[in-house]
Structure 1
Amino acid sequence: MKITYKTPEELKLLTDKIRPETLVFLKKLKKKKPKKLDDVVHVLHYDAFTNFDCLDCANCCKTIGPRLFDKDIERLAKHLKLKTVDFMEQYIKTDEDGDYVFKEHPCPFLLPDNYCIVYESRPKACREYPHTDRKRFYQILDLSHKNCETCPVVLEVFEELKKENF
């Protein structure tokens, strides 16, 4: 299934429309705990990314922010040639969960052409997003379902997973 949408709002509406069916599917997956889930998801991940360029989208950078760890902050500060304390003062806040996050959305390092000016030093959460290529995908089914609202690749992976015989 090729996911087509024009705006992040349209992607969220599409996700909301199919949410009931996806929740039923997730419940079934959680109950069965299929052993081949990682293998199937990884193939779907790579297939989806052969036809998708994140630079055409950047919804993740525009709408959600990564949780930042001390190493991320230090790496970003170094990349920008700032002292860590100055970087934090300019770009970071603590959210309601006590996590470090960027003060603003879209990401302060996202350029109008969807390129990232700190790409080589981007946070771990950014490097790993959308998590559809990680091991033990079973552990992040709910997070991944939430990511369908942001990432068309995740939505496509879920739609293709539904076709599998689990």
Structure 2
Amino acid sequence: MLENFEHISKSEFPANKKLLSKLRKLKGQVLDEAFSFAHEEKFKTIDCLQCANCCKTTSPIFIRTDIERLAKVFKMKPSKFLDTYLHLDEDGDYVLNASPCPFLNKDNTCLVYEDRPKACREYPHTNRKNMHGILNLTLKNSLVCPAVFEIFQDFQKDFRK
């Protein structure tokens, strides 16, 4: 599944970027509902455990409560957890030191699934309210998540009609 994904998603990126201007014209609730419906449909057939590309290639943002919760899981002080796993990025957010995620198991399951960061719980963010506010992030996620990419491809077809 992932063999050609990087190439295909990059080649379709310019068209997906153009699509954003059309999506921005939709009313907030209409856009939210379109994404939410598309999200539900895609995840009926896509199994994240077959992919885990997000865990292999990107880092979630860790907020203070994530750090404190995971430090408890590992019986560490939050400062030790920070020193071991995280650093501040150029935006001032705590992110993982390296990819793939150190909590990703060989079978693509998550070692800390029940306690995973909020950003991981919400990924790929395609079923949230106020999609207008995260359209640029969603476009970037089309390069990481095959489900998001497919949502964009479906929307491309819808807007051709």
| TM-score (norm. length: structure 2) | 0.92
1:78 corresponds to which residue? 72
Counterpart CA distance in 2 for 1:19 and 1:94 is 28
How far 1:12 moved relative to its partner?
Answer: 2.3
Measured after TM superposition, the shift of residue 97 of structure 1 is: 2.0
Cα deviations across residues 61-117 of structure 1 (Å, max 9, x unaligned)? 000001111111001011122121221121111122221111111001001110111
- In the alignment, residue 55 of structure 1 is paired with which amino acid? L
Deviation of residue 28 (structure 1)?
A: 2.0
Residue 114 of structure 2 aligns with which residue?
A: 120
User: What is the identity, as a one-letter code, of the residue corresponding to 2:51?
Assistant: C
Residues 1:159 and 2:137 are matched in the alignment: no
Most deviating of 121-130 and 95-104: 95-104
The equivalent of 2:100 in structure 1 is 106
Aligned mates of 1:36, 1:6 — CA distance in 2: 31
Question: What residue ranges of structure 2 are gaps of 5+ in the alignment?
Answer: none
Of residues 28, 46, 50, the one that matches 2:22 is 28
Query: Greater helix percent: which structure?
Result: 2
Q: Which of the numbers 4, 12, 22 marks the counterpart of 2:6?
A: 12
State the partner residue of 2:37: 43
Give runs of ≥4 in structure 1 deviating > 6 Å.
none
| Inter-partner Cα distance in structure 2 for 1:117 and 1:16 | 30
Paired positions, count: 159
CA distance in 2, matches of 1:36, 1:125: 24
2:44 pairs with 1:53: no
Paired amino acid for 1:154: V
Residues 21/133 of structure 1: CA separation in 2 closer, same or farther (3 Å cut): same
Report the identity percentage: 46
Taking the TM superposition and a 5 Å limit, the aligned residue runs for 1:138-153 are 138-153=132-147
RMSD, aligned α-carbons? 1.5
Q: Structure 1 stretches of 5 or more lacking a match?
A: none
Q: TM-score, normalised by structure 1?
A: 0.89
Q: 1:137 corresponds to which residue?
A: 131
Would the aligned equivalents of 1:72 and 1:124 in 2 still touch at CA under 8 Å? yes
Q: Classify the secondary structure of the residue corresponding to 2:95.
A: strand
Q: Distance in 1 between matches of 2:93 and 2:148?
A: 24
